[in-house]
Amino acid sequence: MADTKHTKVLIIGSGPAGYTAGVYASRAMLEPILVQGIEPGGQLTTTTEVENWPGDTEVQGPDLMVRMEAHAKAMGCEIIGDIITELDLAQRPFTATGDSGTIYTADAVILATGARAKWLGLPSEERFKGFGVSACATCDGFFYRGEEIVVIGGGNTAVEEALFLTKFASKVTLIHRRDELRAEKILQDRLFKNDKIETLWFHTLEEVIGTDTPLGVEAVRVRNVKTDEITEIPCKGVFVAIGHSPANELVKDTLELHMGGFVTTKPGTTETSVPGVFAAGDLTDHQYRQAVTSAGMGCMAALDAERFLSEHE
């Protein structure tokens, strides 16, 4: 028989949104259960220095997330290492099925499943994934000591990854499809001052080229978007940093979505299109996508859930 657990509030996700919801829902005496998912701590565990978390001039992303987990736990949140594979929102109590076999029933649900790295969708990218192609510099940068690396993208992630990779690489080429970066000015300044980084404007990745035995990257073929000219850049590592898509698999057929998959919430609240289901953080937010805004929405979701439960029970 499957183990069944009932809770007033089920929080799905353990990034800044989920843990903050855990702190607030615990303090509201709702005895929440938080299911962590495949990436305990969320996206910030894949980075190093975080310099815009209020109260910390600089903090390591993974350390911040360990602190958030401890905070939620100390307030009384039950934190479970499981992955929700199905979520039935047709009736209350809602039912979530865990990969462990546990069935969770909940009077209210807070969705905080965040976002995942996007890929370009090239067959050669797929072929070399894990063998020279990566979307996480902090996870894989170490393997490219003394090698040449390319980074694709022009946002904060691409620029931070390029800067981080200079710790290992002999040279980093940032390849961007325009001649203007989306990244914050402070990061752009650091990028342009770094002698190890070259920027290649108006170019896109066409193909990753490499060997079969051993499987590994030797170069990338890039296209000038203005002239269509194709050139090759030798490199051993390719870091794709072209943004993130909302992790909406559990609700893409049951909740209202916008902008290509972000869960829609009623303006000024975290209420979704199903009463009793709240959403917070990068899952709902196509615009700001920051740790602090996600945490803020996690707080709002717990307060919204508390109000909903007191009105309905």
- Could you list the residues that contact ligand NAP (CB under 6 A)? 52, 120, 152-158, 160, 177-178, 182, 204, 241-244, 289-290
Classify strands 171-175 and 148-152 as parallel, antiparallel or unpaired: parallel
Minimal distance, residue 224 CB to ligand FAD, in Å = 28
For ligand FAD, the closer CB: 65 or 219: 65
246 is a site residue for ligand FAD (CB under 6 A) = no
Per CB under 6 A, 43 contacts ligand FAD: yes
Q: What angle do CA 204, 209, 211 make, to 5 degrees?
A: 165
Classify strands 33-35 and 78-80 as parallel, antiparallel or unpaired. parallel
250 binds, among ligand FAD, ligand NAP, none (CB under 5 to 8 A by kind): ligand FAD
Q: Is cis: bond before 246, omega within 30 of 0?
A: no
Query: Nearest-CA neighbor of 247 among 125, 100, 117, 124?
Result: 117
Q: Which residues contact 4 (CB under 8 A, 6 or more apart)?
A: 102, 103, 104, 105
* Residue 77 annotated among the catalytic residues of the structure: no
What does the per-residue mask of binding to ligand FAD show for 184-223, with x meaning CB under 6 A?
----------------------------------------
Residue 154 binding partner per list ligand FAD, ligand NAP, none, with a CB distance cut-off of 5 to 8 Å that depends on partner kind: ligand NAP
Active site residue 299: no
Output DSSP code: residue 264.
Answer: P
- Taking CB under 6 A as the binding criterion, the range among 25-33, 118-126, 254-262, 283-291 that sits at the site for ligand FAD is 283-291
Q: Are strands 94-98 and 84-88 parallel, antiparallel or unpaired?
A: antiparallel
Partner whose binding site includes residue 10, from ligand FAD, ligand NAP, none (CB under 5 to 8 Å by kind): none
From the list ligand NAP, ligand FAD, none, partner contacted by residue 243 (C-beta under 5 to 8 A by kind)? ligand NAP
Find the shortest distance in angstroms from Cβ 155 to ligand NAP: 2
Collapsed DSSP state (helix, strand, coil) of residue 206: strand
| Catalytically annotated residue among 140, 179, 212, 285 | 140
Residue pair 104/35 in contact by the 8 Å Cβ criterion: yes
Name which of ligand FAD, ligand NAP, none residue 37 binds, using a CB cut-off of 5 to 8 Å depending on partner kind. Answer: ligand FAD
Q: Does 36 bind ligand FAD (CB under 6 A)?
A: yes
Strand partners, 199: 174
199: left (phi over 0), alpha (psi -120 to 50) or beta: beta
| Alpha-carbon gap, residue 209 to 133, rounded angstroms | 11
Q: Give the shortest CB-105-to-ligand FAD separation in angstroms.
A: 16
Alpha carbon separation from 274 to 236, 253, 260, 312 (Å, rounded):
48, 12, 19, 14
**Taking CB under 6 A as the criterion, which residues in 107-136 touch ligand FAD?**
112-115
Task: Round to whole Å and give the CA distance between 62 and 242.
Answer: 22
Q: Write b or e for each residue in 68-106: b if 16 or more Cβ atoms lie within 10 A of its Cβ, otherwise e.
A: bbeebbebebbbbebebeebebeebbbbbbbeeebbbeb
| Mask for 56-95, x = binds ligand FAD (CB under 6 A) | ---------------------------xx-----------
Where along the sequence are the contacts to ligand FAD (CB under 6 A)?
Answer: 12-18, 35-40, 42-44, 46-47, 50, 52, 83-84, 112-115, 157, 160, 247, 250, 281-283, 289-292, 294
Question: Annotated catalytic sites, by residue?
Answer: 136, 139-140
